[in-house]
Structure 1
Amino acid sequence: MRITTKKGALGGLALLGAAALLAGCAAAPEESGDGGGEAASDFLPCMVSDSGGFDDKSFNQLGAEGLDKAAAELGVTPIKVESQAETDFASNLQSLVDQNCNAIVTVGFLLAPAALESATANPDIDYISVDDMVDTDFDGTTDAPNIKPIIFDTAQAAFLAGYLSAGVSEAGKVGTFGGMNIPTVSIFMDGFAQGVDFYNQENGTAVQVIGWDRAAQDGSFTGGFEANDGARQLAQGIIDQGVDVLLPVGGPIYQSAAVAIRDSGRQIALIGVDADVFETDPSVGDLLLTSILKGIDVGVHEAVVEAGNGNFDPTPFIGTLENEGVGLADFHDWADRVPADLADKVTALADKIKSGEVEVESYLAG
């Protein structure tokens, strides 16, 4: 099932085509063949991480990779600041302002309030907000004209992962848990549960989802984004309920889930999020059924290059299956255990979501 894209091997279902990533509200950007020349010579791009850190093998790392690629293309050296807690956000942003950054990327939903305050106070700096619209008054528009949101309707790809998981589950139970009950986490969990429900409707089955209640819009959460013993214990509790597929949502907490899976001695499939975790963390590769992808790296790269070349565009980008901003990774080591007819159904389902024949609910759905 492996199909590669122009910018790398990002998906067995070819649902994440990096060349078209920023097709959201405008035409997809062209590949740039130059480094920006003099236009970017004094340009300083910067980034603030969420508390997961730049080595989380997930969304912070993807953001950093996108920044580094853009900086290399522009011929400049970026500045990256890592947050240890939410209390670091405002001071980290101010430190970048004080260092005369021209563009600042904030990685993560929780950074949005601090990003808005900083952007409002510094209208001449371009801000790129990953995972939030920065719409605090909920009027449908970003609250500052110098902020570009890069967000992802990951419920669509998670729907496919839920359908796939229900199809490979022999126990009739699949599980999920998250770091915190915030929209950018719960969107994965809810989309996953919708996909399981759809599988049950189509196939007359009764696969259960442990760890997320769609009616209550609540479930199992660690309370943070650290791979620690608390996350392992939460994963263990879900595993003890008999699941044979597990979706942890929250940066490095998948590492705690992997420990719990290995400790169980059972064959339990792990699902990664944001990056293709098989590629970013081979140590858990044998456990991975697939990963739910967000093109954060490509989105950040394109936005920073535009800013560096004097073409900053604050128009929001919303990644979907249709514009290839979200998708599923290859099945890798699990490929032989996914029936061909199930894989075909997942591909067909993706087409139905793109066309609107199958609707996936989320806070980003139009």
Structure 2
Amino acid sequence: MKKSLFVGGVNRSVGAKSGMAVLAAASALVFGLAGCAKPPGTEPGSNSSAAASGGASSAAGGEASSFKACMVSDSGGFDDKSFNQTSYKGMTDAKKKLGIETAQVESHSDADYAKNVQSMVSAKCSIIVGVGFKLSDAILASAKANPDIDFAIVDDNRPDFAAAKNLKPLVFNTAESSFMGGYLAASMTKTGKVGTFGGAKIPTVTIFMDGFAQGVDYYNKQKGKKVQVLGWNAAKQDGQFVPGEDGFDNISGGKQVATNLISQGADIVLPVAGPSGEGALQAAKASGGKVNTIWVDTDGCVSAANYCSNIISSVYKAMDLAVQNAIVASHDKKFSQEPYLGTLEDDGTGLAPFHQFDGKVSADTKSELDTIKGDIISGKIKITSKSQPES
């Protein structure tokens, strides 16, 4: 069952330009280089498990609340310009709203997850949010062992989560918004080739790639064109991924994969690879304007502003609002295990503004994207990705 996010007065719809501008400005307070790219108590290269004791903080100017919201990142860290960073913003927004304590711990490898979650339990957290698919086992085990603590997990909703009544999944149907991103890319390419690659072959990655490829296919059918997608074959569920043990934390590897796609003719690239996706931004920037990107998870012109001139748009997930609402619900004793599903309909996912490309995206394309959004919401357009979360 879908639950709408409380947006706090900010309209997340891509069609509401003024609302998105407010969102971008608000996000910039957190994502700015001098802001919260590094969470309080977390220094680059440090053992961030220390944040369980030294990284906790309460709202400035008020008494410390007995309620403490806590977060564990995956190995991308809180400054990943992507889903960890956006989720962390949700916790800091909740802190400002409620005047609560917060604590956080960064993970540097998969081996850190269980101990980092336990460190938040030991820190007497009221709610613990795990960011990312890969924390699922650790979060589920801890939720079962600690029924008096609320837990939330970003980007996963497994059937066995039902066994933990104190665990809330926060998931997003990004196949819908990526479909729009694929249509946009197909409308903007000059070479007739667009590309995509992932950090790992997992559902929360391939869902973007599926939607992107299907959006390109839809453009081709509508326009009688033959734009090619490099890096992903939706029918075979196979494509290009960043090499190495952790494809999400390999910027040079991401740059190499992007460069390979560019060498094959792709002039627009969608990286779905967390921090490794910055490699695609680097490759695009080095092209002198010949290659551009569509970013994912958050508005890239906010989280990676120095690359904005090469970001046409971004496929966002409203993880900040989903996290904030889970924390508020826990604080207000209204927490439930009912999954949150972000969709185009509730603005839990969508396309960010075009920023520097606003004058380059044609009026026809903008109108067509609005129509496509409505048709996806109504069910007129069916997206077939097997990675879509259930409603």
Same fold (TM over 0.5): yes
Q: Does 1:364 align with 2:389?
A: yes
Hey, what does 1:6 align to over in structure 2? 9
| Amino acid of the structure 1 residue aligned with 2:374 | D
- What CA deviation, in whole Å up to 9, does each residue of 1:232-289 have, x standing for no partner? 1111101100011100012222311111123334521211111111012210000010
Give the alignment partner of residue 159 of structure 2, picking from 131, 135, 139: 135
TM-score normalised to the size of structure 2?
Answer: 0.82
- What CA deviation, in whole Å up to 9, does each residue of 1:304-361 have, x standing for no partner? 0110122212211111111211100111111111111111101111000011110112
Give the alignment partner of residue 174 of structure 1, picking from 194, 199, 205: 194
Give the alignment partner of residue 65 of structure 1, picking from 72, 89, 96: 89
Check conservation: 2:68, 2:126, Cα contact below 8 A: yes
Check conservation: 2:128, 2:150, Cα contact below 8 A: yes
| Amino acid of the structure 1 residue aligned with 2:84 | N
Task: For structure 1, list consecutive stretches of 5 or more residues without a partner in the other structure.
Answer: 20-34
Matches within 5 A, 1:16-55: 41-55=65-79
Q: Shift of the alpha carbon at 1:230?
A: 1.4
Check conservation: 2:65, 2:101, Cα contact below 8 A: no
- Pick 1 or 2: higher relative contact order, CA cutoff 8 A, min separation 6: 1
Tell me the C-alpha RMSD between the 2 structures. Answer: 2.4
Q: Shift of the alpha carbon at 1:187?
A: 0.5
| Amino acid of the structure 2 residue aligned with 1:6 | G
- What is the distance in 2 between the residues matched to 1:15 and 1:94? 42
| Amino acid of the structure 2 residue aligned with 1:185 | V
- What is the distance in 2 between the residues matched to 1:364 and 1:209? 24
SS of 1:132's partner is: coil
SS of 2:225's partner is: coil
Hey, what does 1:22 align to over in structure 2? none
- What CA deviation, in whole Å up to 9, does each residue of 1:169-211 have, x standing for no partner? 1111000011011111110011000000111111111100000
Check conservation: 1:18, 1:295, Cα contact below 8 A: no
Hey, what does 1:304 align to over in structure 2? 327
- What is the distance in 2 between the residues matched to 1:277 and 1:180? 20
Amino-acid identity (%): 44
Give the alignment partner of residue 96 of structure 1, picking from 110, 113, 120: 120
Matches within 5 A, 1:106-121: 106-121=130-145
Hey, what does 1:29 align to over in structure 2? none
Give the alignment partner of residue 239 of structure 1, picking from 245, 262, 265: 262
Hey, what does 1:74 align to over in structure 2? 98
SS of 1:359's partner is: coil
Hey, what does 1:248 align to over in structure 2? 271
- What is the distance in 2 between the residues matched to 1:265 and 1:288? 13
Check conservation: 2:285, 2:307, Cα contact below 8 A: no
Hey, what does 1:153 align to over in structure 2? 173
Q: Shift of the alpha carbon at 1:72?
A: 2.4
Check conservation: 1:174, 1:245, Cα contact below 8 A: yes
Q: Shift of the alpha carbon at 1:142?
A: 2.9
TM-score normalised to the size of structure 1?
Answer: 0.88
- What CA deviation, in whole Å up to 9, does each residue of 1:219-238 have, x standing for no partner? 11114212421111111101
Deviates more, 1:342-351 or 1:249-258: 249-258
- What is the distance in 2 between the residues matched to 1:128 and 1:339? 40
Hey, what does 1:196 align to over in structure 2? 216
- What CA deviation, in whole Å up to 9, does each residue of 1:112-135 have, x standing for no partner? 111111111111110011101132
Q: Shift of the alpha carbon at 1:12?
A: 5.1
| Amino acid of the structure 1 residue aligned with 2:320 | D
Matches within 5 A, 1:205-224: 205-223=225-243, 224=247
- What is the distance in 2 between the residues matched to 1:353 and 1:8? 19
SS of 2:70's partner is: strand
SS of 1:94's partner is: helix
- What is the distance in 2 between the residues matched to 1:271 and 1:199? 16
- What CA deviation, in whole Å up to 9, does each residue of 1:50-76 have, x standing for no partner? 111001111101111110111222212
Check conservation: 2:20, 2:352, Cα contact below 8 A: no
Check conservation: 1:12, 1:329, Cα contact below 8 A: no
SS of 1:52's partner is: coil
Task: For structure 2, list consecutive stretches of 5 or more residues without a partner in the other structure.
Answer: 1-6, 23-58
- What is the distance in 1 between the residues matched to 2:323 and 2:92? 10
Q: Shift of the alpha carbon at 1:18?
A: 12
Say if 1:246 and 1:157 are closer, same or farther in 2 by CA, change over 3 A.
same
